[in-house]
Structure formats: structure tokens, C-alpha cells
């Protein structure tokens, strides 16, 4: 019998991807922050 508590890494990644794809605004905010950091360093 499988333990339901233990979730495989693949399932975890798939779940995170689904959440991020659903939250497009959050993704855009993260991308802007990353771009700002890179432009400051350059």
C-alpha cells in the first residue's frame, strides 16, 4: 500500500507549475524583479 502523505518530486513540480500558470500576475511580478536585478548589475 502506498503512503498518501509522500508526494513524489515530479508531482510536486507539476502542482507548482499548475499554480504558477494560473497566477500569471505573480509570474510577471517575479520576472520584473529579476530583470531589475540584472539591469542594476550590468
Average pLDDT over residues 1-27: 78
Nine-digit cell string for 7: 508526494
Q: State how far the Cα of 23 lies from the Cα of 14, in Å rounded to an integer.
A: 14
pLDDT at position 6, please?
A: 77
Q: Domain for residue 4, yes or no?
A: no
Q: Domain for residue 1, yes or no?
A: no
Please tell me the total count of domains within the chain: 1
Q: Domain for residue 26, yes or no?
A: yes
Q: Domain for residue 15, yes or no?
A: yes
Q: Domain for residue 2, yes or no?
A: no
Give residue 28's domain range: 9-41
Return the SS3 of 23. coil
8 C-beta neighbours (distance < 10 Å), count: 8
pLDDT at position 26, please?
A: 81
Average pLDDT over residues 6-29: 83
> Could you tell me which residue, 33 or 7, shows the higher pLDDT?
33
Mean pLDDT of the chain: 80
Q: Tell me the per-residue pLDDT of 19-28, one tens digit each, with 9 for 90 and over.
A: 877 788 887 8
Query: Has residue 4 got a pLDDT over 80?
Result: no
Q: Domain for residue 31, yes or no?
A: yes
Q: Domain for residue 19, yes or no?
A: yes
Q: Are 13 and 19 in contact (CB under 8 A)?
A: no
Amino acid at each position: 500500500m502506498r503512503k498518501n502523505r509522500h508526494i513524489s518530486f515530479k508531482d510536486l513540480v507539476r502542482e507548482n507549475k499548475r499554480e504558477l500558470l494560473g497566477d500569471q500576475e505573480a509570474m510577471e511580478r517575479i520576472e520584473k524583479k529579476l530583470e531589475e536585478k540584472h539591469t542594476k548589475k550590468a
